């Protein structure tokens, strides 16, 4: 039988889920502007899928990044015959990354991460104070 979930686990797992989101955003931004010879080889935006995980014993709920999916638009074709990666018709496929959206996502992930850190440190100090009760 698994032990009941604690607030530390709630915030900790939420933090790692946000970290996965931050990592995918970093990969997306790093690959923005990259080109490839075929449509299949071109980079596509990656996104994590968040799912709530409930704990019946304690009534708490945390979040997990269950999987990472390819999302967003399909890579776009651009005519660029001088590019060394161009196919016989002179086209290259550009990575499908929406840069402003990724930046917004990055800020949101960072803020949510900070919120969870704040929850964890407040909880920690309250628990320590409870342990000192009566001294």
Partner 1 sequence: MADNALFGIHGAALEVRAQRMGMLASNIANASTPGFKAKDVDFRAALAGAERGGNVDSSIERNTLYRLPLQPSMDGNTVELVTEQTAFAENAVAYQTTLAFLNGRISTINRALKGE
| Interface contacts to partner 1, rule CB under 8 A | 7, 10-11, 13-14, 18, 21, 50-52, 58-63, 108-109, 111-112, 115-116, 119, 122-123, 126, 129-130, 133-134
Q: What is the DSSP letter of 96?
A: B
Q: Which is nearer to partner 1, 2 or 59 (CB)?
A: 59
Q: Which is nearer to partner 1, 78 or 111 (CB)?
A: 111
Write down the least CB distance from residue 67 to partner 1, Å. 14
Q: Which is nearer to partner 1, 18 or 91 (CB)?
A: 18
Write down the least CB distance from residue 10 to partner 1, Å. 5
Write down the least CB distance from residue 41 to partner 1, Å. 31
Write down the least CB distance from residue 59 to partner 1, Å. 7
* 58-89 burial: b if 16+ Cβ within 10 Å, else e: eeeebbbbeeeeeebeebeeeeeeeeeebeee
Q: Which is nearer to partner 1, 52 or 82 (CB)?
A: 52
DSSP line for 50-90? EEEEEETTTTEEEEEEEEEEE-SPPPEEEE-TTSTT--TTS
Burial class (CB in 10 A: 0-12, 13-18, 19+), 106: middle
Residue 94 pairs in a beta bridge with 35, 76
């Amino acid at each position: 039988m698994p032990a009941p979930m604690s607030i530390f686990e709630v915030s900790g797992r939420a933090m790692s889920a946000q970290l996965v989101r931050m990592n995918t955003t970093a990969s997306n931004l790093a690959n923005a502007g990259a080109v490839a010879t075929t449509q299949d080889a071109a980079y596509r935006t990656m996104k994590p899928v968040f799912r709530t995980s409930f704990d019946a014993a304690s009534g708490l709920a945390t979040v997990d990044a269950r999987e990472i999916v390819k999302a967003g638009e399909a890579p776009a074709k651009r005519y660029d015959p001088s590019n060394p990666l161009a196919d016989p018709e002179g086209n290259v496929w550009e990575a499908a990354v929406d840069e402003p959206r990724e930046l917004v996502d990055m800020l949101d992930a960072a803020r949510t991460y900070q919120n969870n850190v704040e929850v964890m440190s407040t909880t920690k100090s309250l628990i320590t104070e409870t342990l000192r009760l009566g001294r």
